[in-house]
Structure 1
């Protein structure tokens, strides 16, 4: 039923969009109707260059997510379990966290260059924070009885993190990953658009808007990016429900 309601809402929005454009309330050259946009999407997926752009964006996003998880989860476990280290790094973390990732684009372009490394690096920077803070929060919520019980059975400190802390933190960490998935995809495509990458959906939208002024192509690329983000979030949400059925419904829903 949830899927049906979502589809009804989407179809209603598309119908209103189509009618508004067709009756002339909005110039079709500025905002093409959805029938035109979806027809362009069908044509674009027959274009090898556009398919390469989509693959380039998806690969950069997957790499950024893998790196973010590899960095943020161990760092969150460490900061969440060692109080003095968390206090020592609090100032630098709170200084870096509010800085928008796109603000680093000029510096990244000078240091790294305009290749795929730049969009991956910026996506990692943006995606690390939700995973990191969800992991730290999860560590703070562990029942002390669990830790003391494990210690009473002679569990070494190295295994406390993997056998007690990490299983407890897993739903929170996964929520952070799901949040970061959307953020990193936004950063990948935004960097492609703002920094002028050689390949990617953002680069396609930039060329379509600045070169030929084809708004149908601009919206087609934008819709494809939106569908990728929706599929990523929906897939991760379903995976999380399967993996953490034992968890309460609201556990892990941390902003």
Structure 2
């Protein structure tokens, strides 16, 4: 299936979901107070694009998202390389990692707020904590998938451990790291909005949604905020997927065993 076909099918699916929500609301199956027509929600989301205060809140959310994701990558990539390269270290911290990984970040909001206070530091810390795991495990997995023949070849020519890491292991692991970053980017956006909603302080897209929930007729604004969150996630994912395709096109090429055999000419 080509990219154009994927795009057209995605547009068709979105149009079908839009039509279903519009029909359900217009037909009165669900009260408009609970599910406004999709056209009204999209119109409200479009008008928010001209609201300076709303756009400032979007900027605050994206800044926390970028800081948290950057911090997670700065920690996860070196730590993943260390765990993947030194089995003794990986075995020593495995139990701790498996204990920390299932802890939901939103459940840590009271504790982190108590330690760091309210504001951007708390939000960035929670985002970094949740975003760290996909990058970490993808780095470890990618390092384990490195071609052992390439490593042995460099060692045979007298290259040391650091040279093997920089010349073979890190380039081979880079596509796995990029995939982990793409997954973590979505997780970071979810945490950025959720932390703002649950904490109830500061500024951002989550604060807009939380405040709209308290309004008598705020469902439309809540859904408009959700639409903006979805659009941000779609744009971020699209940018990262495009970057992956450009930077690691070689990793997507089929190997000799996967290529179709050439047809013999009669």
The interval holding the TM-score normalised by the smaller chain is over 0.9
Aligned position for 2:153? 149
**TM-aligned CA deviation for residue 143 of structure 1:** 2.0
Q: Deviations over 1:43-88 (max 9, x none)?
A: 2121111011111111111111111111111110111000101111
Post-superposition shift, 1:114? 1.4
Q: Note the C-alpha offset of 1:183.
A: 0.5
The residue aligned with 1:214 is 218
2:116 to 104, 112, 130: 112
Name which of structure 1's ranges 186-195 and 159-168 shifts more when overlaid on structure 2: 159-168
Contact 1:191 1:197 in 2 (8 A): no
Alignment counterpart, residue 239 of structure 2, candidates 235, 244, 248: 235
**What's the secondary structure of 2:133's corresponding residue?**
helix
How far the C-alpha of 1:104 sits from its partner, in A, is 0.7
User: What is the CA–CA distance in structure 2 between the aligned matches of 1:87 and 1:112, rounded to whole Å?
Assistant: 31
| Aligned pairs (5 A) from 1:194-213 | 194-213=198-217
**Could you say which structure has the larger radius of gyration?**
2
Segments of 5+ residues of structure 2 without an aligned counterpart are: 256-266
Residues 84 and 90 in structure 2, CA contact (< 8 A), matched pair in contact too: yes
1:153-209 CA distance string (max 9 Å, x none): 222222222211110101111111111010011001000000113111111000010
Aligned to 1:168: 172
Query: Does residue 38 of structure 2 align to residue 34 of structure 1?
Result: yes
Displacement of 1:248 after TM fit?
A: 3.5
Whether the 8 Å contact between 2:127 and 2:191 is mirrored in structure 1 is yes
TM-score after normalising by structure 2? 0.91
Matched, 1:71 2:42: no
Counterpart contact for 2:84–2:140, Cα < 8 Å: yes
Aligned to 2:143: 139
Show the 5 A alignment for 1:64-103: 64-103=68-107
Query: What's the TM-score, normalizing by structure 1?
Result: 0.95
Query: Which of the residues 221, 224, 227 maps onto 2:228?
Result: 224
1:117-152 Cα deviation digits (max 9, x unpaired)? 111111100110000001101111122221111112
Distance 1:249 1:110 in 2: 50
Q: Which runs of 5+ in 1 are unaligned?
A: none
Q: CA deviation at 1:212?
A: 4.3
The residue number in structure 2 matching 1:12 is: 16
For this pair of structures, how many residues does the alignment match?
Answer: 251
- Give the 3 Å change call, closer, same or farther, for CA 249–28 of structure 1 in structure 2: farther
Partner of residue 186 from structure 1, selected from 174, 186, 190:
190
